[in-house]
Structure 1
Amino acid sequence: MTKLTEMFAENTNETATTNNRSLAGTAQLTSLANSIVAEVMKKADADAENYQEKIVASQTDNNAMDELIRELYDLSSTDVEFLKALDEEVQNSMLKSQQSKRSRSKSKTMTLENYRSLMSGAVAELLLRQAMGKPKSSLGYRRASGSIEYTAEELENFKNDQEALRREIRNVQSKKSIMKSKADFNEENERWIKLLEVEDQLKSLRVGGTRVKTVVVDTTKEKLLEELGDKEVDSLKSADMKELLKKLLSGAEEPTEEPTEI
């Protein structure tokens, strides 16, 4: 049976840094976010095996984390009036602070404690956006939603953002690894087949990958040596040289083109 703790690294000596110059409302927001994190983690732990794929994805992808939180907790029911009461400048500063918190957490070893901190920053950001009326763009790559299909717009975005494309390919490969590690893995599984198709689809969007160049091969030297046999060039008479040239010219072919990967 899969346990939530198995999805994270062991605790290290890393300690979180705190900023004593907290903005108004930050302490209340942090407390609220932490209480929501506790609820989300409790639900995820109760069904850890089914949520494993989404939890792993959420450790490195903000969209995946946001979707996981929304799936396990109804944020719209949360009272955010205290955030609405803050002026816009403070709200924006708090939003940037939570985004920085998420970035710092992702850069550290992903222990369970650090994951809670990462999720807390995500919850806080979502609550702030809710209070500010600034929802995230609806365009997301839906990693955590379980969907393994992409819209034409998403595919075009991947094509134009090769780094995002590489991350998405790694994400699909991670899903494949998780599926393959399960005891009941079956290559005939519909989802497995779909993952293979999606991986190929994404890889086809790569720009500047393996290319093929044409190498022109001139075989004149080989033919000349073949005609000479054991004869020395210096020993050839003028008539012999002319005859040799005639043979080479009469049997001349276009240079051979050979494809070579670079």
Structure 2
Amino acid sequence: MDFALILFILSVVTGVLWALDRFVMRKRRAADAGEPVWVEWGAGFFPILLAIFLLRSFVMEPFRIPSGSMIPTLLVGDFILVNKYAYGIRLPVLDKKVIDIDSPKRGDVVVFRYPLNPSQDYIKRVVGLPGDTVEYFGKRLKVNGEEMPLVAQGDYLHADRLQYSKRFNETLSGVQHAILNDTDAPDYVPPQQRLPFQGQESCVYTSQGVRCTVPPGHYFMMGDNRDQSADSRFWGFVPDENLRGRAFFIWFNFSDLKRIGRFH
């Protein structure tokens, strides 16, 4: 069951208990009588649960990075905060947008519900906006025919697998960030790794890479660890209604406390 739904149900149940005690039972208790257990352990938690529910639903929500697809920007084990109102106010549980605030920009790092399994949360970088033509050939990214600048930064050592990747600084529509490429990985998307997705006719796959035109109301996402990321190249576009929020802050990492406060 979705954690937001569990939190909502607990808030409603404890809220009913709180209201029952506040407006009915409290008046019937003797002045010197203590609070019953159901008030102390039920209604007493209502303000705390309600505050957590509102904070997670409308302000910010914590997530843990489970994979290495966003290395070197985000590492496995990073605990991040996600701005829930960056792209609009959504109804809790139903996740339906009711107030439009802003739209994702190229370069934003976004948490979203995986289009092929909405119960899973993914995190990637936005590289293509609605209407954009995104090309990834020979490990070079182009957006609307413009190649995104790359500056070599030497090698990056993956401590978990003692392997090196090539590190670059990529500038994506004015946003500079680090990416990794593996020289021994193929430039193209292997056919056996492509998954059927809605709008697949908007993509052209070749032995050198892929070119996609992003449909209206959708986004093209890629991981910064380019050759170790299953992203829009493999499973398609992310609809606007799947967006959860913009990642902006690392608040903890058990393995490396120096990472706290990094990111943007």
Larger radius of gyration: 1
From the two aligned structures, give the one with the greater helix fraction.
1
TM-score, length-normalised on structure 2?
0.22
From the two aligned structures, give the one with the greater strand fraction.
2
TM-score, length-normalised on structure 1?
0.22
